[in-house]
Amino acid sequence: MERNKRKKIVVPIEEKLKAIRRIQAGETIKIVERDYGVGEVTVGDGNRNRTKVEEWCIKQASSSSRRKSIKKGVYEKVNEALFTWFTQQRSKGVPLSGPILQQKAIMISKQFPETDRFTGSSGWLGRWKKRDGVRQLTICGEKLSADVSSIEKFKQDFKMLITDCGYTCDPIYNCDESGLNYKMLPSKTLASGQEKSAPGNKRSKERLTIMACSNASEEMNIRRSEY
């Protein structure tokens, strides 16, 4: 008959620190292990490594990281090197996206022989962002509030004009221009949890102006003009 294996319980590092404080206050390891539902070895190891646990908690408190364990993963060197590069780029105001981070991580992994199987997957990126508290922020831009009442009035007046004059949809055209800022950097970036805003560099003004035109019946689309 197969012997039942004891379920592994992972105690968050903050809870380990609380357990250490209780032992230092005079409680026995037996009482602490009973309250946390773990073995004596787990509690004893935490108590013996209390200096390391305390240092780790102090470090975590001063960062936005959400790590719950001191134990390092297989790709820890890649993770740490990428975060260092990430903070350097963000200090310069460089906008960063997920694909950019994945490509940089793959480049970094080639520096370490033990990470030769690293692929920079989306799953890895999600864990990396969660661990280091990285989130997405809008760099800049402003919301222009449209005058909704004026728009509705124009639509009603225009519809009445078409009806009164007996127009069909074919001769009614609308055109609009739009700017194509082909050298402009993204307006959003991934940022660390400590960043309250995401200041960026001056945005490139090099652009093409594109005008699109079509009639109301959509039977005729005039070729775009660029200037």
Kindly state the DSSP code that residue 221 receives in the 8-state scheme.
Answer: E
Contact assessment for residue 160 and residue 214, using Cβ atoms and an 8 Å cutoff: no
Assess whether 54 and 112 both reside in one domain.
no
In a domain? residue 39? yes
For residue 49, is it left (φ>0), alpha (ψ between -120 and 50) or beta?
A: alpha
Domain assignment present for 80: yes
Q: Are 130 and 181 found together in one domain?
A: no
- Where among 5, 27, 61 does a domain terminate? 61
**What secondary structure, in 3-state letters, does 135-162 show?**
EEEECCCCCCCCCHHHHHHHHHHHHHHH
Provide the CATH number for the domain around residue 119: 1.10.10.60
| Interstrand relation of 135-138 and 221-226 (parallel, antiparallel or unpaired) | unpaired
Its domain, for residue 82, covers 76-138
User: Is residue 1 one of the residues assigned to a domain?
Assistant: no
Looking at residue 12, its pLDDT comes to 62
Question: C-alpha distances in angstroms, 94 versus 194, 212, 222?
Answer: 16, 33, 39
pLDDT in tens, 121-155: 989 898 888 877 787 665 544 444 456 677 788 88
Q: How many CB atoms lie within 10 A of CB 140?
A: 11
**5 assigned to some structural domain:** no
> In the block, which residue shows the tokens 């005079």?
26
Mean pLDDT calculated for residue range 34-50: 59
Query: Are 198 and 180 part of one and the same domain?
Result: yes
Q: In total, how many domains does the chain have? A: 3
The whole-number pLDDT of residue 96 equals 84
pTM: 0.43
Answer whether residue 21 is part of any domain.
yes
Q: Are residues 218 and 152 in the same domain?
A: yes
Is residue 29 domain-resident? yes
% of the chain beyond a pLDDT of 90: 6
Is residue 2 assigned to a domain? no
Are 119 and 154 in the same domain?
Answer: no
Say whether both 25 and 95 belong to one domain.
no
Residue-wise pLDDT for 67-125, tens only, equals: 555 556 678 889 889 988 988 888 777 788 889 999 999 999 999 888 778 898 989 89
Same domain, 80 and 133: yes
Residue at 3 is within a domain = no
Residue 9 is predicted with a pLDDT of: 55
What's the rounded Cα separation, in Å, for the pair 131 and 84? 14
